[in-house]
Structure 1
Amino acid sequence: MLMGKRKKYTLEEFRRTALSVRNWGRWGKDDEMGTLNYVTNQSVVEASKEVKEGRVFSLSLNFGPSGPQRGGFGGRFNPIHLMTASGADVISGAQSRLMKRTYQKDISYADDIIIMPLQCATQWDALSHIFFEGKMWNGYDASLVNSSGALKNDIAKVKDKVVGRGVLLDFPSFKGVE
């Protein structure tokens, strides 16, 4: 149901549905990639054959104090941009120690950092992101994710698999709107 009131599910209904649709063990008890196992060299070749136009367009979001976060999940905030070195540091002589050490008197720099929750925008959730009843994907225990990161189901495990094809649905044009 897309419009109107949403059905509220009980925890038992959620549990029953989750158990009936999960793929745990499908690719073996040690699997940490889930359905990305479907992305093979051959599937990438097949997907490339689907390209009909060579247009490139950005799907990026502006990061800043007013977005993209809109509230909600506790602890998530908009990106914080901090300058760690700037032109003012060059003018004030703050970078002179570096210049003397490297013998590069004509070279200076600006540098910055971004602090943001990983779910701030384009979200690359690892299979270690969600726990239900103390377990994550493929039955791994939630204790395998700690403040140092994920020991199982880490997003780095799928770095060579996150490819595929996308379909752009242009609903405004379909509805006759620019």
Structure 2
Amino acid sequence: MPLPPEFHEIAKRVNNWGRWGEADEIGTLNLITDDVVRDAAATVRTGRRVPLALPLQQDGVQTGIVPGRVNPLHTMTQINYEMFGPGTVAISDDAVTMGLQAATHWDALTHVSHSGVIYNGRPADTVTAHAGARFSGIDKAPYIVSRGVLLDVARAKGLDRLPADHAVSPEDLDEAAEFGRVTVAPGDIVLVRTGQVQVFLAGDRQGYGFPSPGLSVHTPEWFHAHGVAAVANDTLTFEIIPPEIEGLWLPVHALHLVEMGMIQGQNWNLEKLSTACAQEKRHAFLLSAMPEPFIGGTGTPVAPVAVF
């Protein structure tokens, strides 16, 4: 089924190809300037730190719906091995096999394509079996530190968790910004809380992923207008599933990653952050969300930390 005219109309309005030059591979991360980072650091007042990652574990969020995207399989390769002889210092080592998008993660700009292209109009076949992504792999995003802004859509509506059929709209984002008394500015990293991760934390892995609240196909224009550098949320699918437009799967992925060049994150645990923002009486903070520099990777696990 070809992408509908509505998708292409939105794509034209949010497209950033060539905005930072033909050679650009990081898209909206260009908006995180030295000045933005300095201002973000100035938000730190108490030093309170809030972790936002889910544990990397074998019974994690992945249920097998995406072939090959496996939860972390942790194996001990050495246990108290006296490699220099009896009585010497012993070592223990381990190894992990996992999908790079297995748990809390960033999607690289090459995670999806549409119409045969990736961000900045490059051919989709530059993502190869042996080398991974030739352009815009996650390794091209060496640092992601900026002001983080929590848009607590659920709390703004007086809810602990959004209903599974709720598509987060631009109006919802405005309402959450007003609720948090925060103005989203260019270079910000926006975290959108739906409360859906509570389903996983309660032990319902299947119910966590489908059906799920998530971002509406109309929200990319909101992020584009506000100059958002990156966005993450607390769901498996990121966008509303089942989709708003019948047959149009993952349109928000395509608009963010391909058209805008804006990385996005999934499976972020925003529950403790919601509590901290309420206690601190502010919804902006310094956010460190450094990607692991997998060469050619189309995603990466991340352990984000909000600092107040």
> By how many angstroms is 1:114 displaced?
1.0
Distance 1:54 1:175 in 2: 29
- Whether the 8 Å contact between 1:80 and 1:116 is mirrored in structure 2 is yes
CA separation of 1:158 and 1:44: change in aligned 2, threshold 3 A: same
Q: Normalization by structure 2: what TM-score? A: 0.46
Q: What are the residue-to-residue correspondences of 1:122-161 with 2, within 5 Å?
A: 122-147=104-129, 148-160=131-143
1:49 corresponding residue in structure 2: 42
What's the CA shift for 1:168?
4.1
How far is 1:113 from its partner? 0.7
Unaligned runs of 5+ in 1: 1-8
Which residue of structure 1 aligns with residue 149 of structure 2?
167
The alignment yields a C-alpha RMSD, in angstroms, of 2.7
Q: How many residues align structurally?
A: 158
1:67-78 matched pairs, under 5 angstroms: 67-78=60-71
Does the 8 A contact of 1:33 with 1:153 survive in 2? yes
- Secondary structure in structure 2 of the residue aligned to 1:153: coil
Q: Deviations over 1:58-104 (max 9, x none)?
A: 212122221132443332221111111124xx4xxxx5xx425xxx8
> Residues 53, 173 of structure 1: CA spacing in aligned structure 2 closer, same or farther, 3 A cutoff?
farther
Alignment of 1:32 with 2:25, yes or no, is yes
Q: Is the 8 A contact 2:108 2:137 kept in 1?
A: yes
CA contact 2:72–2:97 (8 Å) conserved in 1: yes
Counterpart check, 1:19 vs 2:12: yes
The percent identity for this pair of structures is 39
Name which structure has the greater RCO, CA cutoff 8 Å, separation 6+.
2
Residues 137/173 of structure 1: CA separation in 2 closer, same or farther (3 Å cut): closer
Cα deviations by residue, 1:100-153 (Å, 9 ceiling, x for unpaired): 5xxx85122111111111111222222222111111000011121112122111
Q: Distance in 2 between matches of 1:173 and 1:56?
A: 23
- C-alpha distance in 2 between matches for 1:133 and 1:65: 35
Return the index of the structure with the highest Cα Rg. 1
Distance change >3 Å, CA 145–CA 82, structure 1 → 2: same
More strand by percentage: 2
Q: Report the residue type matching 2:33 in the other structure.
A: T
Q: Deviations over 1:39-70 (max 9, x none)?
A: 11111111122234321122121222211324
Query: Is 1:86–1:109's contact at 8 Å kept on the other side of the alignment?
Result: yes
Specify every segment of 5 or more residues in structure 2 that has no aligned partner in the other structure, as ranges.
161-274, 276-308
Partner of 2:84: 99
Structure 1 length normalisation: TM-score?
0.75
- How far 1:174 sits from its partner (Å)? 8.9
